[in-house]
Amino acid sequence: MSEPRVSKALESPGEGSNEVFLLDSQTVSPTVAFLQELPSFQSMLRRKASTGGSQNYYSLAPSASGETRNLLEGVASSSAQPLREYALTITEKRRLRDIQEANIKYLSVWNQWRQSSRKSLRKFVKDTKEMSSWLELWRHDIRSIEGKFGTGIQSYFSFLRFLVVLNLVIFLLVFSFITLPSIIFQHGVVNGSHVKVSLRQTEAHCTVYETTGTKGLIYFYNYIIDLLSGTGFLEMTSLFYGYYTVDTIHFGHLKYQVPLAYLLTTLAYLSLSFLWIVKRAVEGFKQSLVCSEDQFQSYCNKIFAGWDFCITDVNAARLKHCSLHYELKESKTKVEDNLLVQYLPSMVITVANFVAPLIFSVIIRSEDYSPGFEIRLTLIRCVFVRLANIGVLLVSLWIRITSCADEKCVACGYNYQLYPCWESRVGQEMYKLMIFDFIIIFAVTVFIDFPRKLMVTHCLVKAFRWCGMQEFAIPDNVLEIVYGQTICWIGTFYCPLLPAIATIKYFIVFYIKKVSLMHTCKPSTRPFRASSSNFFFLVVLLIGLILAFIPLGLSMTRIPSSKACGAFVNFVHSWDILYHTINQLPDVLKTVLDGLASEAFAVPFFMVICLIMFYLIALAGAHKRVVDQLREQLVMESRDKLFLIRKLTDAQRLR
């Protein structure tokens, strides 16, 4: 085929790579003339005409083989990405591999080593990811749930798995830097010193602390009460704040300050939780943006490109089939007395948490919302009720702790008679909330969900079967674990081993919910996409984390530390350990830190952050425009295919 002559009406041929060469329609070959009839080319011409000629476009190439050859040669010269990343056919990828292998002998020894090292590293990373995927917690269980109940239910169990891993990491952090050093010092493994209260600065009556343990003969049920309430034999263990009275531990010539480590570890696990949640939320937000495409396009993608042809196992194929089925549906539509008194706040909060979702579920039925928005609205309503209950409990504790009626109490700064070690008391309340929440989850499953299933399936009286099989209520179940996680974040400062309890709790809750889902629930009649729910679950969890910042910040900076227990007896507030540590630093470092805390640094830093934010916003807008252009290009390619099929059909008829 002869090369077409370029039109004389070239625009600025020497301006650079953005030039566009239009072909003269009178001298082009028949093949090129035929290709210019494609809808994509006609749309390009109309766009050029509508912009007044300010934009120019390349015409279609006279020969696809020439373009392919140039593409292959360009790709072959660079091995920055693996072949599977390029939009080429299998034949072209094989040709590309042959070209790359032929060019290796012309490379220097250094470049050959770099290329082989890069390829080996990519293979190692790929194999590591595949191996780590098999070690993923509950991998098979979650996939089975996805296949039977859809991606919406699967997102809840994935969210629960994330909280198990998060609490395990928090526990390891707290245990490594707070609990373990204190334990090894208490057992005489290393040398160190306890905190010593200065009686010159502190009244003697403020330092008196007697545990609530029962003296004399102890009955077995007392241990049960202590185990459920955190009192008695548990009160002075490493479970609560009052145990940590170590000041300095000597590791050779190094001094390890436990009070400083206590505060910094608290800030560390809060920051880690915040960054981890934001990271996962951003990933979920990206997925929700991708899934917010045209519904018809999403439906077609699931129909024609949703199957994984690498599946060879029958069970995996069945699960994938069920998962696609649900995705398509989503696109389409005395001992009793003491224990009762101690657990009364927890019971009141639990009753409110149980009743509020029922009321909101009745209200939402009269509101005509989509399934996804209905779940999000119910979550928002219930989460503020649940978190408000925690807030009311903490405010009531704060009022009782800080209320003073005499001068002795004012001298201590807190109600030393009622709460000689108020941090441990707050830790006990958080401990009771965590235990009671687990008991309620277990009791509801055993004494409500399973009897309801038996009544519906085996009872012959229709009056007992009117309620029907229950559906897995995603808002209620998400709220349960968000509520428990918020308790964990708040209580870890006062009960350092609470993350370990939360890890064990959520690990057991996973199997409780799985058994309940498999045996007592029916698939939801109104499924929803998991892409938006994953993001929204993390947003709700982030609200709980922000709520945890408030009481912890106030207790560190506003409420005086207990003078009878804990690591901060020598400081007015636990936050003062930072100022004490900074004052012991060299003058140069103190000057640097003072400069970082001054307005002269804060204002430029804020301006730089704003500029970076504006840049990222503009970059996100540019990426969105590129995505829109790519979607438009996909639509035009589908039209080109229909055009070519129509032309081919007409040609066959003429024969």
Q: What is the pLDDT of residue 16?
A: 38
How many other C-beta atoms lie within 10 A of the C-beta of residue 517?
A: 21
Q: Please determine, for residue 49, whether its predicted confidence score (pLDDT) is greater than 80.
A: no
Lookup result for tokens 């999403």? 298
Q: What is the pLDDT of residue 1?
A: 40
Q: What is the pLDDT of residue 493?
A: 93
Q: Please determine, for residue 566, whether its predicted confidence score (pLDDT) is greater than 80.
A: yes
Between 275 and 44, the more confident residue is: 275
Q: What percent of the chain has pLDDT over 90?
A: 12
Within 8 A by CB and 6+ apart from 227, the residues are: 234
Q: What is the DSSP string of 407-470?
A: HHHHHHTS-TTT-TTHHHHHHHHHHHHHHHHHHHHHHHIIIIIHHHHHHHHH---GGGSTT-SE
Q: What is the pLDDT of residue 500?
A: 94
Most confident of 162-176, 231-245, 556-570, 592-606: 162-176
* Interval 153-184: pLDDT, tens: 888 888 899 999 999 999 999 999 999 999 99
Mean pLDDT of the chain: 76
Q: Please determine, for residue 332, whether its predicted confidence score (pLDDT) is greater than 70.
A: no
By CB atoms closer than 10 A (0-12, 13-18, 19+), residue 126 is exposed
Residues 440, 432: Cα–Cα separation, whole Å: 12
Q: What angle do CA 546, 547, 552 make, to 5 degrees?
A: 95
Q: Please determine, for residue 503, whether its predicted confidence score (pLDDT) is greater than 90.
A: yes
Report the range of poorest mean pLDDT among 359-373, 569-583, 601-615: 359-373
Q: What is the pLDDT of residue 64?
A: 40
Q: What is the pLDDT of residue 23?
A: 45
DSSP, collapsed to helix, strand or coil, labels residue 222 as: helix
Average pLDDT over residues 141-163: 83
Average pLDDT over residues 326-352: 56
The gap from C-alpha 307 to its chain's centroid, in whole angstroms, comes to 27
Give the pLDDT band of residue 298 (cuts 50, 70, 90).
low
Q: What is the pLDDT of residue 598?
A: 80
Within 8 A by CB and 6+ apart from 186, the residues are: 246
Between 413 and 285, the more confident residue is: 413
Q: pTM, whole model, 2 decimals?
A: 0.72
Q: What is the pLDDT of residue 29?
A: 57
Q: What is the pLDDT of residue 335?
A: 35
Residues 492, 506: Cα–Cα separation, whole Å: 16
The residues facing 248 across adjacent strands are: 193, 257
Most confident of 30-34, 203-207, 453-457, 460-464: 453-457
Residues 259, 566: Cα–Cα separation, whole Å: 9
Q: Please determine, for residue 185, whether its predicted confidence score (pLDDT) is greater than 60.
A: yes
